[in-house]
Amino acid sequence: MNFEFGAPAMLGGAALIGVPILIHLLNRRRYTVTRFAAMAFLQKAFAKRRRRLRMESLLLLLLRCLAVMLAALAMALPFVPTDSLLAALGGGARDLVLIVDRSGSMARRLPGGASVGERAIEALRNVVSRLSDEAGDTVTLITMGAADPLPVPIGARPSAVLEVLDAGLPAPAGRADMVEAARLLRDRVRAVRKSRLDVEVLTDLQALSWGEDVGPILAEVFDDGGGTLRIEDLGRQLGDTANRSVSALEASDALLLAGRAATFNATLVNHGDTIQRGVRGRFLLDGELRRQVTDIEIPARGSASVELRLRVDAPGPHHLSFELDADELPFDDTRTLAFETRDAVQVLIVDGDRAVDPLKGSAGFLALALEPALAGDDAAQPAGFTTQIVDPRGFEALGRSIESADLIVLANVGGLGAETLTRLHEVVSSGTALMVFLGDRVEPVSLGERFGTLLPAQVGALRGDPTGRGEQDYVSLVLPEPAPPELELFSDPRLAMLLQVPVLAWHELTPVDGAHVLASFADALGATTPAIVRGRVGLGATLLFGTTADDAWSLLPRQPPTWVPLIHELVSSLTRVDPATHNVPLGSAPALVLQGTPASARLLDPAGGVERIARPEVELIGHRSRLDLNATPLDEAGAWSLEIEPADASRPGEVIALAALPDAREGDLRRIDSATLEQRLAPVSFVMGERLDEDPDEAGSESGDGSLFRFLLWSLLVCLLGESLLARRMGGMR
């Protein structure tokens, strides 16, 4: 017999079978023999009664031993495969696993207006309503593509599943992965439900959902206890529609500043095999139309880009959306970008060699690059940066007010006090960016000892000669292949020539673990050494430049066509907010860094609903805090907002723009064909069907789950009843 046990450790209880035997032996009566005259007449009758008592005593012992054995077996949860000779003892209870597709493609509209996802809910009700709590049926519901793949406990009662369906499952959102569902079934469900599993998959048979590993994983599930697989094709009335979607919406500029025009790009994808012409769409800023686009042409199985040049005058949070004319899959016809425009980036420059003229010291060239108006040109356009220049003593005197800076630049600063360095480390760890330039006041060993982990590279020996008369020739900047995003502007060969400016003296840099080299110094022979190294300390980005910020060692600051865009790109990349922070995949929760500590918050969804977060759980990081919205994932695509009420009454409230992004891959509606499906599911046998078309009377023909638990419990009850009656009879006879 092919027995399996759900809790084999409980079989150890069978050892207790020795207890009734021991009691039986201890309770054996010892008789004192006393002979008397009439004894001969009683011996014959006594011998007959003793034989009967011995048989009844052995039968009582057997029943007691059997009761212990049945109890141990029942607690071990035995079951047999359906083809076993003992399968008929398994009863009619079913362990049903329902795997329902809740991916974005299930929002596809059927003829008549209903969606495939709504049809799936109807099919779920049809299946679960045929089961019974009283019969011991159980249901495990797995939602592929949803944030929570197990909306009900494993092995839940049918009535509990119906309650969840009445409350409503999350709308179709993410990407269905049948391989992940099979792994969940093998690793979590099978660990709890050891009996035969009837697995039913309700899906639209989107090809993207069926990976090559799904068959072997399901085979492991069914080899361990048996089961069946049934696939219900809920989208069989639909073909491979030539769907189009908005797959991306991005800002081309690293910094989005109020009053300055920025470029936004929407990427449109054609998932069909024919060219789509005359496609129409529109850009909307905070719900207001900004540009209508017509006659877009998207090649077959290709993409097209639509550009918007937009100036946003109001600083603060905003939402930009691009909408296509709706088709039968509205899920991916709109995409939203959450962003914030800023008045200016606050840059605090610490000049280690402060000159009388603030524009001629180590920080002068930096200030001119960031604020052209400082040169006295009233016609110069504001670049979006505000600078403040101090010497090291002035920097130490600022105390905690350095927290207001977006970027701190140390230019030729040899050292700072221990208290100031500790404060600087806290500020950078909490999200303020740090840029360091070297110079003649910097001593490498002392710098490494004082600044420690604030630097993304170890500073080595000085190379070259600032006078240009040394034995070692000058070097110039070169970019790696491919160019890093921070300096992608110079990846164009025509602009790369701007970097060919002599650097006469520089320090060797050795990047620490996790740091990235953005550019290198290259000599005339092509030998390179790191020049610009970027790293991270906590939440703050750090950058180390291997030469000076003035013209003492380098001619770069004397070349505005090179120096100005180079500094702008580096500063923008260090102080930008990562778009992925506020634009998260649909169904996930953002992790946000806030100024100060929030007392409460309100989360507004795209439909206008409000969820109040009375006591947000935050992690304090310096003067900032990290808020994880794990309990409130963004489960509806589109524009969201988070309103923060600070704990410090002196701080103003904060509004953060958020966006939930659908998975762009869900727009590909190609279905898997039967031959490929059989190949992917091999070696598992399965049947195709649709519950909506079945006769409800079929439910009674379903086989049980192969569990012997109930049979053993009934047997234990009969055994205990027989033992009780026999013990009472024997006690009365004595």
pLDDT digits (tens, 9 = 90+) for 188-199: 999 888 888 899
Query: Does residue 305 register a pLDDT over 80?
Result: yes
Task: Say which CATH number the domain at 293 has.
Answer: 2.60.40.10
Rounded distance between C-alpha atoms, residue 561 and residue 556, angstroms: 9
Instruction: Give the pLDDT of residue 356.
Output: 55
The distance from CA 89 to its chain's CA centroid, rounded to whole angstroms, is: 45
Residues 6+ apart with CB under 8 A from 188: 150, 154
- Domain presence at residue 710: no
- Domain presence at residue 138: yes
* CA proximity to 55, closest of 721, 730, 717: 730
The C-alpha R_g of the chain, in whole angstroms, comes to: 38
In a 10 Å sphere around its CB, with 0-12 CB exposed, 13-18 middle and 19+ buried, how is residue 220 labelled?
A: middle
Rounded distance between C-alpha atoms, residue 263 and residue 249, angstroms: 11
Are residues 500 and 618 both part of a single domain? no
Residue type, 646: P
Residue 247 exposure: Cα atoms within 13 Å on the Cβ side = 18
Instruction: Output DSSP code: residue 237.
Output: T
Question: Which structure tokens are listed for 397?
Answer: 């005197």
Q: Compare 400 and 700 and report the one with higher pLDDT.
A: 400
Bridge partners, residue 503, by sequence: 475, 554
- Domain presence at residue 711: no
Residue type, 417: G
3-class SS of residue 527: coil
Q: Please tell me the total count of domains within the chain.
A: 5
The residue from 326, 342, 358 where one domain ends is 342
The residue from 342, 372, 401 where one domain ends is 342
Which structural domain range is residue 52 located in?
Answer: 4-87+720-733
> Taking each helix axis from N to C terminus, what angle separates 674-681 and 214-223, rounded to the nearest 10 degrees?
50
Query: Does residue 733 register a pLDDT over 60?
Result: no
Residues 6+ apart with CB under 8 A from 276: 242, 244, 270, 297, 298
pTM of the model: 0.77
Work out the average pLDDT over 177-187. Answer: 94
- Domain presence at residue 715: no
Instruction: Give the pLDDT of residue 80.
Output: 59
Residue type, 717: L
Supply angle C-alpha 161, 585, 633, rounded to 5. 50
Are residues 280 and 164 both part of a single domain? no
pLDDT digits (tens, 9 = 90+) for 343-373: 999 999 999 887 656 566 778 899 889 987 6
Instruction: Give the pLDDT of residue 58.
Output: 78
- The DSSP code sequence of 654-717 is EEEEEEEE--GGGG--PBPPHHHHHHHHTT---EEE-GGGS-GGGGGG-----B-HHHHHHHHH
Q: Compare 153 and 95 and report the one with higher pLDDT.
A: 153
Give me the residue label for tokens 């003649």.
440
Rounded distance between C-alpha atoms, residue 279 and residue 266, angstroms: 13
Pairing state between β 654-661 and 583-585 = parallel
- Domain presence at residue 373: yes
Per the prediction, the chain carries an average pLDDT of: 85
Task: Say which CATH number the domain at 217 has.
Answer: 3.40.50.410
* CA proximity to 392, closest of 420, 434, 350: 350
Residue type, 424: L
Are residues 351 and 399 both part of a single domain? yes
Rounded distance between C-alpha atoms, residue 447 and residue 439, angstroms: 11
Q: What are phi and psi of 669, to 5 degrees?
A: -95, 15
Residue type, 25: L
Question: Which structure tokens are listed for 514?
Answer: 């996790």
Rounded distance between C-alpha atoms, residue 303 and residue 323, angstroms: 15
Query: Does residue 86 register a pLDDT over 70?
Result: no
Residue type, 629: L
pLDDT digits (tens, 9 = 90+) for 136-173: 889 999 999 887 899 999 999 999 999 999 998 888 87
Query: Does residue 55 register a pLDDT over 90?
Result: no
Instruction: Give the pLDDT of residue 445.
Output: 85
User: Which has the minimum average pLDDT: 299-303, 305-309, 443-447, 563-567?
Assistant: 443-447
Are residues 534 and 475 both part of a single domain? yes
Task: Say which CATH number the domain at 455 has.
Answer: 3.40.50.880
Question: Which structure tokens are listed for 547?
Answer: 């030469």
* Contact (Cβ atoms closer than 8 angstroms) between residue 566 and residue 556: yes
User: Which has the minimum average pLDDT: 46-50, 449-453, 568-572, 595-599?
Assistant: 46-50
Question: Which structure tokens are listed for 14?
Answer: 């069978």
Rounded distance between C-alpha atoms, residue 478 and residue 491, angstroms: 10
Instruction: Give the pLDDT of residue 155.
Output: 92
Rounded distance between C-alpha atoms, residue 145 and residue 181, angstroms: 9
* CA proximity to 278, closest of 292, 267, 294: 294
- CA distance between the termini of the chain: 44
Are residues 152 and 292 both part of a single domain? no
Q: What are phi and psi of 713, to 5 degrees?
A: -65, -45
Question: Is the four-CA dihedral 233, 237, 242, 245 of positive or negative sign?
Answer: negative
Residue type, 133: D
- Domain presence at residue 713: no
Bridge partners, residue 522, by sequence: 476, 528
Work out the average pLDDT over 492-519. Answer: 91
Rounded distance between C-alpha atoms, residue 152 and residue 148, angstroms: 9
Question: Is the four-CA dihedral 170, 171, 173, 175 of positive or negative sign?
Answer: positive
Are residues 387 and 466 both part of a single domain? yes
* Contact (Cβ atoms closer than 8 angstroms) between residue 428 and residue 537: yes
Are residues 329 and 367 both part of a single domain? no
Are residues 56 and 128 both part of a single domain? no
Rounded distance between C-alpha atoms, residue 415 and residue 423, angstroms: 14
Query: How large a percentage of the chain has pLDDT more than 70?
Result: 85
* Prior bond of 299 cis (ω within 30°): no
Residues 6+ apart with CB under 8 A from 14: 68, 69, 72, 73
* CA proximity to 701, closest of 85, 229, 94: 94
Question: Which H/E stretch holds residue 542?
Answer: strand 540-545
Are residues 259 and 192 both part of a single domain? no
Are residues 602 and 526 both part of a single domain? no
Residues 6+ apart with CB under 8 A from 41: none
Are residues 79 and 188 both part of a single domain? no
Instruction: Give the pLDDT of residue 703.
Output: 46
Are residues 554 and 591 both part of a single domain? no
Please give the order of strands across the beta sheet that includes 638-646.
Answer: 583-585, 654-661, 638-646, 598-604, 610-613
